[in-house]
Amino acid sequence: MAFAPPSITCSHLSFSWPDGTPVLEDFQLVVGPGRTGLIGLNGSGKSTLLRLIAGELRPVEGQVKISGDGDVGYLPQTVSLDTSLRVDAALGIDAARAALHAIEGGDASEEHFTAVGDDWDVEERARATLGQLGLGHITLDRTIGEVSGGESVLLRLAALLLRRPDVLLLDEPTNNLDLEARHRLYDAVASWSGLMLVVSHDRELLERVDRLGDLRGGEVHWYGGNLSAYQEALAVEQQAAERMVRVAETDMRRQKRELADAQVKLARRVRYGQKMNDTKREPRIVMQERKRQTQVSSGKHRILHTEKLEEAKERLDEAVEGVRDDDEIRVELPYTAVPAGRTVLTLRGLEVRYRGRSRSAVFARYRHHPLGAARRRAGRNRSARRLRGGVSRER
């Protein structure tokens, strides 16, 4: 029988919180082997999706299918472990380790051999995995209460790596980790050979995935490659969206001018007809017919130009929606300690000044963003239409 590679399939998945707030509706997703990154705005449903795949939440409708034996490892965003738990128990090897020690002590009971199974090197593998994650100083007999919060996250990850699940789900795994621990985790992610789905805002971590998905508006938009490839594709996409906005704005201004010109012409016709009627230069029946034709023609022209203007507004709305207008900027800082005196940290166009060892203020000067102009223009257009009943007036 041919070996089937692991995969995740979500079919018509719907989930709502108990208060009725919908998170996902008729959601579709297929994830194959390799390292897949998932990004999106807060509240878009990324963490909820991982919990649904892990089986911690039950969907209202639809199903989640894991190919193979369905073995899923899940590292939640917040790790909570019993502080009295020993490290070997947290790693899930306490039973096999105890049985191994009993056998080495001369107890040849069958139950011990059953507990060990094929894990005769369980302690060596555990120490090697801890060392890979920078936890080589932690012995298997210590308790969780003796390790830091960041170390407890890595211990949970070490337990998953030892278990070797077909599918590994990581939710913001670099939270609460210092710079050195993050790089240890990066290496572990880069060496993973199974199916991994990781939700993260960590730029360096996202550079190590094979493909990236953006969960937006209840569906995932896929971008091949890592974060750099995603940013390049997004830049091209947004440049095209900006061009569409400019074209739509130009078209709407033209339709406004044509509507105004048509109204002027129709007003002239009405005045001419009224003048002819007042001077009675034509028979009454002719003047009445001319008036009727003018009214019919005026109505048709007005409707025609109004419809064209409304269509132009709709095209502009659609174009504006295509311009990303994320309302959040997330900054990851590896350290929180600031040395005495003033330091300047430049983050790709954002200048932040911070003074340590005192009450401090942060000043940010926004220099330039390649998509900023279109986003600001899109925001102004939306605000104008909301304030003016759907009509955006020219300045």
- Same-domain check for residues 362 and 284: no
Q: 107-116, 198-207, 284-293: which has the minimum mean pLDDT?
A: 284-293
Q: Is residue 196 part of a domain?
A: yes
Q: 7-11, 142-146, 238-242: which has the minimum mean pLDDT?
A: 238-242
Give me the helix-helix angle, 122-132 and 94-104, nearest 10°.
130
- Same-domain check for residues 158 and 270: no
- Same-domain check for residues 28 and 135: yes
The confidence score (pLDDT) of residue 353 equals 54
Q: Report the distance separating Cα 201 and Cα 190, nearest Å.
A: 17
Amino acid code (one letter) for 33: P
The confidence score (pLDDT) of residue 392 equals 37
Mean pLDDT of the chain: 76
- Same-domain check for residues 169 and 43: yes
Q: CA nearest 39: which of 328, 393, 378, 372?
A: 328
* Number of domains comprising the chain: 3
- List Cβ neighbours of 357 (8 Å cut-off, separation of 6 or more): 338, 340
The CATH number assigned to the domain holding 206 equals: 3.40.50.300
Q: pLDDT tens, 175-210?
A: 888 888 899 899 999 888 889 999 999 999 999 999
- Same-domain check for residues 267 and 358: no
What does each C-alpha distance from 45 to 16, 54, 218, 338 come to in angstroms? 10, 14, 8, 35
Q: Is residue 119 part of a domain?
A: no
- Same-domain check for residues 208 and 348: no
- Same-domain check for residues 174 and 286: no
Q: Is residue 109 part of a domain?
A: no
Q: Report the distance separating Cα 25 and Cα 34, nearest Å.
A: 26
- Same-domain check for residues 269 and 311: yes
Q: Which residues pair with 344 in a beta bridge?
A: 353
* Residue 252 domain boundaries: 235-324+376-387
- Same-domain check for residues 13 and 77: yes
User: Dihedrals φ, ψ of 24, to 5°?
Assistant: -130, 140
- Same-domain check for residues 56 and 185: yes
* Whether pLDDT at 352 is above 60: no
Q: Report the distance separating Cα 181 and Cα 132, nearest Å.
A: 10
- Same-domain check for residues 14 and 157: yes
Q: Is residue 156 part of a domain?
A: yes
Q: Please indicate whether residue 368 or residue 264 has the higher confidence score (pLDDT).
A: 264
Question: 218 burial class (0-12, 13-18, 19+ CB within 10 angstroms)?
Answer: middle
Q: Of 225, 248, 270, which residue is a domain's last?
A: 225
Q: Is residue 101 part of a domain?
A: no
Q: Of 225, 246, 263, which residue is a domain's last?
A: 225
The confidence score (pLDDT) of residue 80 equals 78
The confidence score (pLDDT) of residue 320 equals 62
Q: Report the distance separating Cα 125 and Cα 142, nearest Å.
A: 17
Pairing of strands 195-199, 34-39: parallel
- What tokens were used for 247? 């074209």
- Same-domain check for residues 313 and 195: no
- What tokens were used for 231? 């940013």
Q: pLDDT tens, 299-327?
A: 565 666 677 677 767 766 666 665 555 54
**Residue 66, Cβ neighbours under 10 Å: how many?**
19
Q: Is residue 107 part of a domain?
A: no
Q: Of 191, 225, 259, which residue is a domain's last?
A: 225
Its pTM stands at 0.64
**Residue 212, Cβ neighbours under 10 Å: how many?**
26
Q: Which residue has the tokens 């555990």?
A: 126
Percent of the chain surpassing pLDDT 70: 68
The confidence score (pLDDT) of residue 171 equals 94
Q: CA nearest 112: which of 90, 136, 96, 134?
A: 96
Q: Is residue 302 part of a domain?
A: yes
